[in-house]
Amino acid sequence: MVRLAQPWSLRYPLVDGQGNFGSIDGDGAAAMRYTEAKLTKIAEEMLEDIDLETVDWRNNFDGSLKEPIMLPTKFPNHLCNGTMGIAVGMATNMAPHNLNEVLDACMLIIAKEGKEQADGTRYEVTIEEIMQIIKGPDFPTGGFIFDPANILEVYKKGKGGIVMRGKIHVEDGKNGSILVIDEIPYMVNKSTLVSKIAELVVDKKIE
């Protein structure tokens, strides 16, 4: 639940937390007796139709309650917030994406996918068409994608890496120019980043 409240972990947080829910420096959250939580508006959208019997229900782990086998959500959470998971012999790591772009791509697929063409074949929406709308991942901490051309290969193959770099600007200081870091790559620990910069200074690799 702590992670669901962290705006640097989720592109669209699902929990509105009050109290200490950790930091981008890797600090831990406060004990649960010191925090409060409620659903964000976008999380409420995920649960709005839960009572309409659109999905099957099953017993929970000890049979004391019923739970839905899946959420009949209007919000495409896995695509927008990304997800990480490990199963037997396989793992998945999906990047977060922009909600408006994901919905526009869904509308494209609904409008075109499977429609019969003049030659009698069924239309298939291509990755290239989708990427006209979804240019790439949309990370909550910002930053630049170093090699945008690589995104197409990652989307086509379903595997690969996306290299990120931070975003900086230059300000004038009393003793010269100052580099100010505005955005850092996703999942980078800020305090670790500062420590590594300090090590590079000590090793005289940067001034």
Tens of pLDDT, residue by residue over 154-200, are 999 988 889 999 999 999 988 889 989 999 999 999 999 999 999 99
Amino acid at site 166: G
pTM, to two decimals: 0.83
Which residues of the chain fall below pLDDT 70?
A: none
Give yes or no: 123 in active site: no
Which residues, 6+ apart, have CB-to-CB distance to 71 below 8 Å?
46, 47, 50, 55
**Residue 60 DSSP class:** -
Q: Where are the domains of the chain?
A: 1-76, 141-207
At the top level of CATH, the class of 1-76 is alpha beta
- Spatial distance between the Cα atoms of 66 and 58, rounded to a whole number of angstroms: 5
Of 34, 123, 155, 186, catalytic: 34
